[in-house]
Amino acid sequence: MTSLLTLDQIIGHASVLAHLKRAMADQHPGHAHLFFGPPGVGKATVAAAFVQALFCQKKGAAGDSGCGQCPTCRKVAQGNHGDLVWVTMGEGKTRIGVEQIRQLAGFFALTPMEAPWKVAILDDAASMNEAAANALLKTLEEPPARSLLILVTRQAGKLLPTIRSRCLKTRFSRLAQEDVRRILLSGAAGAELAALEEADLQAVMAAGGGNVGRILAFSQGDWPALRRQFRQEMAILPSVSLGQLVGLAEQWSPPERFAFVVVLLRMWLQERLHATVSQTGTGEGATREGWLKAAFWIEQLLRQAAIVNLNRRLVLEAVFIRLARLQGASC
């Protein structure tokens, strides 16, 4: 929830950073900001860096960005600055409750201790329940002097329109692949990731999409081993029994594994298609046309699965059976 990155150290989001720096150039950065966009792209990280930049004692030297070194910047990064509060879902809770927003009003009623403003970051703001949202609206309608509210959410559409309309909006986009790679390699797990085979890094980046947190979660699992396991299973697919195929589908169907196997499947199919160009390694009895048709059919199915939430195990069963038959299996 906090970050040790300063605004100048943030990778990607160039237009967002320019927009925030313009806001800072004004006398008051605005009473309420809404940071919205896809999950895992660094919205909360940017929010913390923005607050650092607003509070930093050595900003003159560091320009628009916090210095990251002074006691103020450190307190913001560590989440223990007296003029900054993070409002998130409590442990084991699924929503931000009204009591938390009432406490926020109390926080804003006090004068800042050392910073120019009192700042609250709500993450994820869309998880406020109805009573909490209504209470927040009151704060937004009559913003306390020297207060700044930063709402962070992946689902801006779930916020009350009356809340949205009172915020300065900052839209975050998906990160470019190259930026995702730079973030991963420069982060805490950078050395570990840099030591991986390129194919493993590619696979985990594809599995996580542009979501850095998700990629890191994957990378901390045993996915290089899973990638190898998948390839071994694909190699013996034409010779396994129907029961074993069903077992394979079952084994890859939990949500986190499914996201990963979808990527592995696409990569594997691409390799098979490339191999058919030179007519090597295409497997028994499979023609280039057969592979193309199967790849097209599988892609359609995977897209449908993503859109309408098809049963993951059944999708994988269908895919594995199709691929086994394509290569001559009689299952």
Q: What residues line the site for Zn ion (CB under 5 A)?
A: 56, 58, 66-67, 70, 73
Taking CA atoms, 126 is separated from 35, 44, 150, 291, in Å, by 11, 14, 12, 44
Least distance in angstroms from the C-beta of 17 to Zn ion = 17
Exposure b/e, 114-141, CB count within 10 A at least 16 = b: ebebbbbbbbbbbbbbeebbebbeebbe
Tokens representing 148?
Answer: 């700044």
CB of 172 to Zn ion, least distance (A): 24
CA distances for 301 relative to 64, 69, 250, 282, 322, angstroms: 48, 51, 17, 22, 12
User: Per the structure block, which two tokens stand in for 292?
Assistant: 């193309």
Among residues 76 and 298, whose Cβ is nearest to Zn ion? 76
Nearest to 108 by CA among 133, 71, 83: 83
Query: Which residue, 83 or 124, has its beta carbon nearer to Zn ion?
Result: 83
Shortest approach of Zn ion to residue 73 CB, angstroms? Answer: 3
Displacement of CA 30 from its chain's centroid (Å): 27
Judged by beta carbon, residue 62 or residue 205, the one nearer Zn ion is 62
Alpha-carbon span 70 to 7, nearest angstrom = 15
**Closer by beta carbon to Zn ion, 12 or else 68:** 68
Please give the helix or strand (H or E) that residue 97 lies within, else none: none
In the complex, the smallest distance separating the C-beta of residue 113 from Zn ion, rounded to whole angstroms, is 16
- Of 8 and 131, nearer to Zn ion (C-beta) is 8
User: Least distance (Å) from Zn ion to the CB of residue 83?
Assistant: 14
C-beta closer to Zn ion: residue 65 or 153: 65
**Which two structure tokens, joined as six digits, stand for 166?**
């009172």
Reading the block at residue 213, the tokens are 């947190």
Q: Under a CB-based contact definition with an 8 Å cutoff, are residues 23 and 179 in contact?
A: no
Per DSSP, which regions of 110-259 are E strands? 118-123, 147-153, 168-171
Residue number, 81 or 312, with CB nearest to Zn ion:
81
Smallest gap from residue 58 Cβ to Zn ion (A)? 5
Question: Token pair 């900003």 is at which residue?
Answer: 59
Q: In the complex, what is the shortest distance from the CB of residue 80 to Zn ion, in angstroms, rounded to a whole number?
A: 15
